[in-house]
Amino acid sequence: MSTATPASPNTLRDRMVDTIAAAHPLTAAVESALRSVPRHEFVPDATAEQAYADRAVTIKANPAGGLPLSCASVPSLVADMLVWLRAEPGDTVMEIGAGTGWNAALLAHLVGPDGKVVTLDIDEDVTAHARKTLDATGNTAVVVLTRDGALGAPEHGHPDRMIVTVGAWDIPAAWWEQLDPGARLVVPLSWRGQARCLGLERQGGRMVSDVVELCGFVPMLGQDGERTATIDADGLVALHFDADQSIDPAALLGVLGQPKAEDTSGITVRGDESFDGVWLRLSATDPATCRIEADRAAVDSGLCKPAIPSRSPALAEGESLAYLTLTRRETEDGVRFELGAAGHGPAGQRLADRLCDEIRRWDTARDARPTVTLYPAGTTDKQIGSRYVIDKPSIRMAIAY
């Protein structure tokens, strides 16, 4: 039987921050906030060890299953987003998605007594929890509002910073109206089946990114721009695509039963090496880009073997489809995995070749990130210039490498 004394919450918190700081470039202000605000007091149903592990903690499960309705985000991602937000003492910060209240308390620490934090959530259970934990930890000045986050909080003025802690698919008009030039927005935004956290600055009539990083968040309620449909008779393989895309899942039903056309790129990665930049490049260049999701039974039967079964990029056009694949290769440097594509349908080979061409472009600058520029809906092509544009109800999104 172990007689070791359990570590105190303060010790666990310092260990968590030490671990995050070793892998993430924290500012002194963000590190101070993380060391000062007691996360365990915002997740009372979790143990101290769970509270200070680098993982999300659910506070409201989804009765329908799947993603939770609300949770405390992974601490390292919270830290990154706070760094990208660049909040200063005296700032007014608006948070969309109240969560446990922990992030609002961190923001309150960053802006200090002369600043202001307003946090919004549509779920009254979530805001009640946040209000309770904020009050219990001395953060009584934080304003907690129960409302649709898409509306913002115009009665509290124009924020210097806005941070969105739920997954957004669009940028509502109210956010544009409340963010003045020079204001900063950090938001997890989804397009073409993948999500990236964007750090944006309002510059006149547009918002321009200086941060584009992979992320995942509970989706924001009320934004239903992503479509999902299965493309096989047993419902084992699904496509996820955007409302603006001319993808017809009915035309693709049974496409995986057609002969497979394969292409290899000649580009390899190690087993621990990320290749998510391929998807990002596809989304910035090819209007057919979407996400394919294959159930384990589909993979085991050989029906569909995407690089990552749960989430891989694909190209869907008319009655044809191609998706990213991985093939194990034994090399002089050990095991590596070659990126390639599998295509089905009349244009399957052409789509597979197109996907491999983008893999090769990614290989020339693997760490490159595009600049994402957001414009209000109605901005003309002439005003945007010759860049690839994705249209959503409230924004026009230009992506350029």
Active-site residue, from 70, 73, 265, 312:
73
- Rounded to the nearest 10°, the torsion over CA 197, 312, 320, 266 is 110
Query: Rounded to 5, what percent of the chain is helix, strand, coil?
Result: 30, 30, 40
Supply the DSSP symbol for 234. Answer: T
CB-based burial of residue 209 (10 Å sphere; 0-12 exposed, 13-18 middle, 19+ buried)? Answer: buried
- Taking the C-alpha atoms of residue 180 and residue 161, their distance in angstroms, rounded to an integer, is 10
- Taking the C-alpha atoms of residue 178 and residue 181, their distance in angstroms, rounded to an integer, is 10
Supply the DSSP symbol for 41. Answer: G
Q: Which residue in 356, 348, 275 sits closest to 316, CA to CA?
A: 348
- Report the SS3 class of residue 329: strand
Q: Do the beta carbons of residue 69 and residue 50 sit within 8 Å?
A: no
Q: How far is CA 358 from the centre of its chain?
A: 22
Query: Would residue 274 show up in a list of annotated catalytic residues for this protein?
Result: no
Q: Is 268 left (phi over 0), alpha (psi -120 to 50) or beta?
A: beta
Question: From the CB of residue 383, how many other CB atoms can be counted at a distance below 10 Å?
Answer: 11
Q: Do the beta carbons of residue 189 and residue 195 sit within 8 Å?
A: yes
Q: Pairing between strand 92-96 and 161-164?
A: parallel
Amino acid identity at 78: V
- Report the SS3 class of residue 1: coil
Phi, psi of 262 (to 5 degrees): -120, 150
Q: Which residue in 291, 194, 306 sits closest to 247, CA to CA?
A: 291
Sign, Cα dihedral of 241, 247, 250, 252: negative
Residue with tokens 């769970």, as numbered in its chain: 50
CB-based burial of residue 238 (10 Å sphere; 0-12 exposed, 13-18 middle, 19+ buried)? Answer: middle
Q: Write out the catalytic residue numbers.
A: 73
